[in-house]
């Protein structure tokens, strides 16, 4: 059992029953955010920084939404599942947009290729977690 899953399972409102898709999503969100921040920082160092402005902006927006979604989804007391679903939708959208933009630069910049891969994984994890919440 992963540390996060173990922690959530110990929560009095969860009582051992965790939503594995949601736990995976939280982990992907918290993994994606620093990758996006690092990509933005690497873009700032590139010679063609002016052409990377949108990429930098989307990296930073994506990182912020990943962190927000991860935090909201981690909180179990008085859970507002509708709000979590909205956060997951926003995160998935930000990840899609960021990945699309990074993929435009992936052949030229390895950091953008890596970031796009992480964003795609996080996007899918958010969509799967959203579906798992709507099923319950």
Q: Is the pTM of this model over 0.85?
A: yes
1 falls within a domain: no
Q: What is the Cα 1 distance to its own chain's centre?
A: 21
Q: What is the CATH number of the domain that holds 124?
A: 1.20.1270.360
pLDDT given for residue 57 in this prediction: 98
Question: Could you give the count of Cα atoms lying within 13 Å of 39 in the half-sphere of its Cβ?
Answer: 35
Tokens of 22: 């949601």
Does any domain span residue 17?
no
Query: pLDDT-derived band of residue 18, with 50, 70 and 90 as boundaries?
Result: low
Q: Identify whether 11 is part of a domain.
A: no
Q: Domain total for the chain?
A: 1
**Residue 13, in any domain of the structure:** no
Tens digits of residue pLDDT in 43-96: 999 999 999 999 999 999 999 999 999 999 988 766 778 999 999 999 999 999
Q: Is the pLDDT of residue 98 over 70?
A: yes
Q: Per the domain annotation, does 105 fall within a domain?
A: yes
Residues 20/6/9/122 CA torsion (nearest 10 deg): -30
Helix, strand and coil percent figures for the chain, each rounded to 5: 80, 0, 20
Which residues constitute the domain of residue 77? 22-135
């Amino acid at each position: 059992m992963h540390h996060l899953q173990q922690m959530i399972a110990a929560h009095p409102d969860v009582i051992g029953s965790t939503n594995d898709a949601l736990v995976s999503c939280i982990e992907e969100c918290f993994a994606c955010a620093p990758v996006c921040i690092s990509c933005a920082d690497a873009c700032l160092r590139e010679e063609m920084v002016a052409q990377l402005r949108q990429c930098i902006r989307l990296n930073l927006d994506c990182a912020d939404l990943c962190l927000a979604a991860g935090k909201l989804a981690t909180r179990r007391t008085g859970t507002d599942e509708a709000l979590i679903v909205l956060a997951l939708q926003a995160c998935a959208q930000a990840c899609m947009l960021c990945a699309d933009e990074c993929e435009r630069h992936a052949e030229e910049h390895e950091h953008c290729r890596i970031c796009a891969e992480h964003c795609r994984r996080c996007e899918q994890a958010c969509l799967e977690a959203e579906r798992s919440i709507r099923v319950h």
